[in-house]
Amino acid sequence: MGSPEANTTDDIFDSSLNLEEIHYKEGHSDGYAEGLSSGVEEGRQVGLKTGFETGLELGFYRGCIDVWNSAIRLDPACFSSRVQKNVKQMDELLRKYPLLDPENESVSGVMESLRIKFRAVCATLKVKLELDGCGPRASDPRETGF
């Protein structure tokens, strides 16, 4: 065995040899914690934005359905039976949309069906309604008459 001085010298050098590994582990641990924190916040922001956009689109469809149903109540002959059927189907799809369960597998299917029905109604009525980031608008205000 070596002298006690040799063991003390070896211990000093051992800690300096492990310095890189120690700092690597500390850096990884700190980076992971920071990434986890910022990832949660980023996910929250993306979720809020996506939820807002979805709500805006669903509200747009609800408004269109309500206006079309009001027109039908005032004059049942104002729209063809095909348009009335599509408006009714849109209303049913909108009621079926799982608002409180955004992870439901049917969300994308219901939304796509709503979009298709909406385009069908607009095409039949020869109107061009669009939803942009700020709200609904007509492509050409002269083309919004029924």
Annotated domain spans of the chain: 22-125
Low-confidence stretches of the chain (pLDDT beneath 70):
1-17, 133-146
* Cα–Cα distance measured from residue 145 to residue 79, given in angstroms and rounded to the nearest whole number: 12
Q: What is residue 26's predicted lDDT score, i.e. its pLDDT?
A: 83
Per the prediction, the chain carries an average pLDDT of: 82
Q: What is residue 12's predicted lDDT score, i.e. its pLDDT?
A: 65
Residues 126, 131, 137: CA angle, nearest 5 degrees: 65
Residues 55, 60, 61: CA angle, nearest 5 degrees: 100
Give phi and psi for 107, each to the nearest 5: -55, -55
Q: What is residue 14's predicted lDDT score, i.e. its pLDDT?
A: 67
